[in-house]
Structure 1
Amino acid sequence: MTEVTRVPLQPIAKGSLTKLWLGVIVAVLIGAGVAWAAVPKGVSVETITAGSGGSPSIGDVAFVKYKGTLADGTVFDESGPSPFPPGIFPEGTPFLLEEGQVVDGFLIGLQQMEKGGTYELYIPSEFAYGDEPRPGSPIPPGADLTFEVELVDFMSREDAERRVMAMQQAMEAQQGGEGGVAPPPPPQQVPGPPPQN
């Protein structure tokens, strides 16, 4: 028969277990603090006026009125009148919510807004133009951006494309008269070789 050697456990001193658990908790908190400090400050959306509709998602077209400012209050961009005739599309500037179509911070922020609401959108430099803004831009390198944004409305990309096609067909019908087809443009005269004597 095999004999099992037993190692006696030493009793734990009073309060040692508590100290052990406190040490573990402190280590976890320090680790969490270091990890939190390493996370860059992100995009934030503050509600000025709450919206009552849904929120746009990737692939939608959002129609917004906005004003963008730098940290010193300088306005670097703001929306103008809608580029479309009234009634076909909502008011505001259209933005396609897809990566590469707008800066990352604007893409993230718009998805947190509700239709009909007005918001203050803060975009840190790393989610805007970083250290290399577009040439000729009034935005300096490393600039954080703030926008006041009204999300007027949004729709699917497919719905927006259908409306654009309907608008184009209506314009062609107007130009073409009753037949609905625009006349072909007149042929352009191409200069030929000079006459020979």
Structure 2
Amino acid sequence: MRPIKKGSLTKLWIGIGLLAAVGIGAAWLSTKAAVVAAQTPDEYLADNGKRAGVVTLPSGLQYEVLKEGNGPKPTPADLTLVNYEGKLAKTGEVFDASERHGGPATLPVTGLIPGWTEGVQLMKQGSKYRFWMPPRLAYGDAGAGPNGEIPPNAVLVFDLELLAVQPGAMNAMPGMGGGMEGHPGM
């Protein structure tokens, strides 16, 4: 039997160390997923609210500024042009996104779920925010979706980019039949 070279032994220990690190990381991720799945919405939001950069409002809505814009903030009377992606907080599953519907969406500030109405009014045009909406500001104990994509009492996570604001558009359009100048489909 020949002795092992010094460099080979070092490589062996580095390999063993890397395998151990990968194993520990995988165990941590699966444990974290199990903990999140077992949490109530209030427990999830309490933990999330401790993260750096996350702001919790009195209503329970949480947000993080991903990019701050410098344009106007929308009011309840306005229409907005937005890119959005909605996910379930517990699983990360995307249940809706503007990209699935062909690109930016034209949406009123009001008439949507309360968390959306409250959140979009915090943003300046050009901003991108991430929102965590407790069930009472989303779909509550009813859930939503034609196939139940949003289960009852789900915390929703929305990444929302405010591209444009049309001031007063809701007041000027009885049936929302108009559009935002320069933006097709609005």
Class of the TM-score when normalised by the shorter of the 2 chains: 0.5 to 0.7
Q: Which amino acid aligns with 1:65?
A: N
* Structure 1 length-normalised TM: 0.54
Structure 2 residue 75 is matched with structure 1 residue 96:
no
Post-superposition offset of 1:95: 1.1
* Conservation of the 8 A alpha-carbon contact between 2:166 and 2:180: no
Number of residue pairs the alignment of both structures matches: 120
* Conservation of the 8 A alpha-carbon contact between 1:121 and 1:146: yes
1:23-74 alpha-carbon deviations (Å, 9 max, x no partner)? xxxxxxxxxxxxxxxx976112210011111110101001110001111110
Give the match for residue 179 of structure 1.
Answer: none
Picking from 132, 141, 147, the partner of 1:122 is 132
| Cα RMSD (Å) | 3.0
Task: Map 1:34-183 to 2 at 5 A.
Answer: 42-71=60-89, 72-80=91-99, 92-98=104-110, 101-134=111-144, 135-156=146-167, 157=169, 163-164=178-179
- Distance (Å, rounded) in 2 between the aligned partners of 1:130 and 1:142: 5
Post-superposition offset of 1:136: 2.5
Give the match for residue 6 of structure 1.
Answer: none
* Conservation of the 8 A alpha-carbon contact between 1:47 and 1:120: yes
- Distance (Å, rounded) in 1 between the aligned partners of 2:125 and 2:180: 25
| Secondary structure at the counterpart of residue 123 of structure 2 | coil
In terms of Rg, which structure is larger? 1
| Secondary structure at the counterpart of residue 151 of structure 1 | strand
- Distance (Å, rounded) in 2 between the aligned partners of 1:41 and 1:113: 17
Q: Which has the higher helix share?
A: 2
Q: Which amino acid aligns with 1:145?
A: L
- Distance (Å, rounded) in 2 between the aligned partners of 1:57 and 1:154: 9
- Distance (Å, rounded) in 2 between the aligned partners of 1:139 and 1:151: 24
- Distance (Å, rounded) in 2 between the aligned partners of 1:166 and 1:127: 31
1:51-102 alpha-carbon deviations (Å, 9 max, x no partner)? 111110101001110001111110011003777xxxxxxx72011122xx20
* Conservation of the 8 A alpha-carbon contact between 1:64 and 1:153: yes
Aligned-pair identity (%): 32
- Distance (Å, rounded) in 2 between the aligned partners of 1:114 and 1:166: 19
- Distance (Å, rounded) in 2 between the aligned partners of 1:59 and 1:121: 21
- Distance (Å, rounded) in 1 between the aligned partners of 2:60 and 2:128: 20
| Secondary structure at the counterpart of residue 80 of structure 1 | helix
